[in-house]
C-alpha cells in the first residue's frame, strides 16, 4: 500500500512537470511569434513611421471633430426636451396650485357654515 501511494505521488509529480513544460513552450511560442510579427510589420509597412504617426494623428483629430459634433447635437436635443419638460411641469404645477386653492376655499366655506342672506 505504501508503495502504491509513493508510485502515485511520483506520477503526479511527472504530470505536473509535463504541464509546466507545455506552458513554458506555449509562452515561448507566443513571445517569438509576437517578435516576428512586429518585425515583419515594421519591415513591410507601406509608410514610414513618421507618416504612420501623422496618419494616426490626423484620423484622431477627424474622429474627435465628429464626436464633438455628435455631442453638440445630443446636447441641443436634450436642451429642447428639458425646455418642453419645464413647460409641462409649470402647467401641472399651476393646475395643482389651483386645485389646492379650490379645496382650501371649499374647506373654509364649510367651516363658516351656511351663509345668511339679509335683505
Please write the tens of the pLDDT for every residue from 61-108.
Answer: 888 888 888 888 888 888 888 888 887 888 888 888 888 898 888 888
Number of domains in the chain: 2
Q: What's residue 5's pLDDT?
A: 79
| Residue 61 sits in the same domain as residue 102 | yes
Q: What's residue 89's pLDDT?
A: 81
| Residue 60 forms part of a structural domain | yes
Structural domain for 25, as ranges: 1-48
Residue 26 binned pLDDT confidence (cut-offs 50, 70, 90): very high
Q: Which residues of 47-84 are buried (b: 16+ CB within 10 A; e: fewer)?
A: eeeeeeeeeeeeeeeeeeeeeeeeeeeeeeeeeeeeee
| Residue 37 sits in the same domain as residue 16 | yes
118 against 39, higher pLDDT:
39
Q: By the 8 A CB rule, do 20 and 28 touch? A: no
pLDDT over 70 (residue 32): yes
Amino acid at each position: 500500500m505504501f508503495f502504491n501511494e509513493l508510485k502515485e505521488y511520483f506520477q503526479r509529480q511527472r504530470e505536473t512537470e509535463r504541464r509546466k513544460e507545455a506552458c513554458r513552450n506555449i509562452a515561448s511560442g507566443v513571445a517569438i511569434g509576437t517578435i516576428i510579427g512586429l518585425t515583419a510589420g515594421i519591415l513591410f509597412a507601406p509608410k514610414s513611421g513618421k507618416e504612420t504617426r501623422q496618419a494616426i494623428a490626423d484620423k484622431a483629430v477627424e474622429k474627435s471633430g465628429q464626436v464633438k459634433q455628435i455631442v453638440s447635437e445630443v446636447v441641443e436635443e436634450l436642451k429642447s426636451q428639458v425646455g418642453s419638460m419645464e413647460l409641462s411641469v409649470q402647467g401641472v404645477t399651476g393646475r395643482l396650485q389651483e386645485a389646492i386653492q379650490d379645496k382650501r376655499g371649499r374647506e373654509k366655506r364649510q367651516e363658516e357654515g351656511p351663509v345668511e342672506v339679509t335683505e
